Amino acid sequence: MTDAAAHSHAPVRIGIVSISDRASTGVYEDKGLPALQDWLLRALHNPIEFVSRLIPDEQERISATLMELVDQHQCSLVLTTGGTGPALRDVTPEATLAVAHKEMPGFGEQMRQISLRFVPTAILSRQVAVIRHQSLIINLPGQPKAIAETLEGLKDASGQPLVPGIFAAVPYCIDLIGGPYLQTHDAVCKAFRPKSAVRPQMEV
């Protein structure tokens, strides 16, 4: 991605991938892609161009899809949902690590910390995050409620943060790998950057 593209007001290209054997074959309606799209539209000030995929729990297919979104479509951010548990067909983390240039273990650690506030079985979750070229790929949980919780974090009754969501760190991570400058709506998720990395609020 060129510096000009990274600094422009052009739409940010984001890949969203729902991984489910049954949803991909039409057994039931996929809820992962709508949940991802809805949250990102609420959270980001930037215009967004989504590249969506609904695929089965097949490791080679997942890896190929991630490479397509990063290498061909040049998505700066790719979010997956589904396939991160211990079941035999849950292979999303393996498929993600197979295409990684760098691992970012803090994202998975924080997602499990958030989910443990609700269920003890959160320790069974195996979500990972990686960098491939100039793109950040993050595995998210499969349930829409859990997707929003892990991205946004937890707040008390007055709206004060209790546990930071992982998305607060995403914009600065993308800055550091040469991607576009993401700006968030603070009421949904306040991005954190060092003062030296903050730019004026863009007009859209």
What pLDDT is recorded for position 150? 96
Q: Is residue 202 part of a domain?
A: no
pTM as predicted: 0.92
CATH code of the domain containing 164 = 3.40.980.10
State the average pLDDT for the chain: 92
- The total number of structural domains in the chain stands at 1
| Residue 169 domain boundaries | 3-197
Q: Which range, of 31-45, 110-124, 157-171, averages the lowest pLDDT? A: 157-171
Domain-embedded: residue 99: yes
Which candidate, 77, 25, 28, 29, places its Cα nearest to that of 51? 77
204, part of any domain: no
Does residue 3 surpass a pLDDT of 70?
A: no
Task: For 20-59, write each residue's pLDDT tens digit.
Answer: 998 888 888 999 999 999 999 999 999 999 999 999 999 9
- 203 inside domain: no
Closest CA to 55 of 13, 95, 4, 18: 18
The pLDDT value recorded for residue 198 is: 93
Is there a domain that residue 149 lies in? yes
Decide if 174 is inside a domain.
Answer: yes
**193: in domain:** yes
